Amino acid sequence: MPASRRHHRALAVIVNCLGVLAAVPALPATAPRAAAAPAPGAPAPAAAAATPAAPTATGMPAAPPAAPPTSAATVPRPIPPVTVRVAPAGTPLPAYRIDVRNAGSSMVETTVRQELPAGTSATTVTAGGRASRQIGASAAGEVTWRLRLPARSTTTLNTALRMTAPGRPVTAPACAYGTDGTRPYDCATATWNAAPVPVTKVTAAPAWRRPPVLLAALAAFLVVTGGALWWWWQRRRQRSGAAPTMAGPSPVGRTGGPAGGGTLYPRAALPTPAGARRRRPPIWLLVGVAAAVLAGVVGAAAWTATQRVAAIDTTKQPTSGAWMGQSVTGPVGVPLRETAFEFTVYRVTCATAGQPIAIGSRQCQATVGVRNLTPEQQTWHGQLQRAYLPGGNWVSTDETATRVANLGRDVFAQPVAAGSRVVLPLVFTVNGSQPPKQLELRSGVFSAGVRVDVP
């Protein structure tokens, strides 16, 4: 075959291939069968969707309008059917009123637990509650009720406590749990305070009894006394050392002065007597005045330093530049606020020694209330929530066990909505038989967080 014919045939093949490639985009697009088949129960497609797209001037069908990307909206947590309210009673001894309300349309079985702080014991329990005391070094206990709440009803419970240290505030939180006794419906807390004692008005001490005034008066007295003594001593020395006055006419006047015995000026210089030299204050006077002034300065400085030290607020904790806010410490049942969240630990319980999950380890569960105080949703992490053991070691939240305690729901995967409050259990896997001494809770990596002392 001649070379020219071979070249023309190769060029024709290339042109045909380019034409095929150019014609492929013009073919109508076919939808996959999975997309074309409607899902069971789905609504019928709209008429506009069934109508094929009209071809454009270039022969290609118009592209369907792109749907805007939708962000995953925060799914609100279900509102629990049971709510709890706790209020202190105005009695001489600690007493509380607990209102448990079932807002649902069906009967609910629940277990209500009220924590008793250390140093208190229950004296009055209504509605068939049972008081118990935990075994261990701590003297904390609890009151338990098992209730069947009718639909849309409110049950009132009352407790009265006796405390070993009267006069101090007593905080006793209460929670309503499900039938398993671990998943909280709702929790509330209240602090009972003794009747305020009338404060005696303290009047300021008179000026002459204040230490700075006394020191200043003493220094002034010593200085004035020293000056008077020095002046008196100088006058005495001058009087004793004065030269006697010479009587009679001046020799100069007899030898050549003017008639009448006048005095010739300038007079002749007379030798200065030894006693007429310049006097200096005695050493004992200088030492006394210096000692008085030094005592006054030292006394005033000591008093000023004492007042400044007494004015220092020892409850404030220092914070470094790496943290946001200051760390707050409090007991169980007291709301503690940090940068974004308000944490309240209502209850901390650990598995008994006969229920270890592994050799040398067991689980401790904390019922925690989290309130978002910011106008935006906040995300928190399980690794930032810690339980400190008596030896100084700490462990983070056991996220697997926490998910099981929350019925399979990952409480850290979903942010806390703005202004909302959730009550949930956090599980910590600790080693040894000692319960944790303190919980550290925080909303973010740079938040100073809060610390809760566990009794």
pLDDT in tens, 68-81: 444 444 445 556 78
Task: Please report whether residue 156 resides in a domain.
Answer: yes
155 in a structural domain: yes
pLDDT at 298: 78
Give residue 191's pLDDT. 93
Higher pLDDT, 322 or 427: 427
The Cα 85–Cα 114 span in angstroms is 12
Domain finish residue from 140, 161, 192: 192
pLDDT for 244? 53
Residue 237 lies in a domain: no
User: Would you say residue 207 lies in a domain?
Assistant: no
Domain assignment of residue 102, given as a range: 82-192
Q: Is position 416 within any domain?
A: yes
CA distances from 449 to 323, 344, 397, 441, 446 (A): 9, 12, 15, 6, 9
Residue 64 neighbours by CB distance under 10 Å: 8
Q: Higher pLDDT residue, 163 or 412? A: 412
Domain end position, chosen among 192, 207, 240:
192
CA 353 to chain centre: 34
- Give the pLDDT confidence of 115-136 residue by residue, as tens digits: 998 888 899 999 889 988 765 4
Average pLDDT of the chain, as a whole number: 75
Least confident interval from 84-93, 172-181, 272-281: 272-281
Most confident of 135-144, 149-158, 287-296, 299-308: 149-158
Residue 422 lies in a domain: yes
Nearest to 391 by CA among 433, 356, 427: 433
pTM here? 0.57
Counted domains in the chain: 2
The whole-number pLDDT of residue 254 equals 47
Task: Supply the pLDDT for residue 209.
Answer: 67
The CATH code of the domain that includes 341 is 2.60.40.1240
**CA–CA dist 395, 389 (Å, integer):** 8
Closest of 311, 348, 344, 346 to residue 328, by C-alpha: 344
Q: In the structure, what pLDDT confidence band is assigned to residue 291 with cuts at 50, 70 and 90?
A: confident
Specify the higher pLDDT residue, 397 or 448. 397
Encoded tokens for 66: 């792109």
Residue 368 lies in a domain: yes
pLDDT tens, residue by residue, 383-435: 999 999 988 899 999 999 999 999 899 999 989 999 999 999 999 999 888 88
Given a cut of 70, whether residue 23 has pLDDT beyond it is no
| Residue 135: CATH number of its domain | 2.60.40.1530
- Per-residue pLDDT tens digits for 369-388: 999 999 999 999 999 999 99
pLDDT grade for 259, boundaries at 50, 70 and 90:
low
Q: Which amino acid is at 264?
A: L
The whole-angstrom separation of Cα 313 and Cα 315 is 6
Q: Decide which of 172, 192, 212 is a domain's last residue.
A: 192
Q: Is 359 exposed, middle or buried (0-12, 13-18, 19+ CB in 10 A)?
A: exposed
Nearest C-alpha neighbor of 258 from the set 248, 266, 250? 250
For residue 243, being part of any structural domain is answered with: no
How many other C-beta atoms can be found within 10 angstroms of the C-beta atom of residue 334? 19
Residue carrying the six token digits 């969707």: 49
Length of the chain: 455
| Cα 259 to Cα 65, 133, 251, 252, 255, distances in angstroms | 143, 128, 13, 11, 11
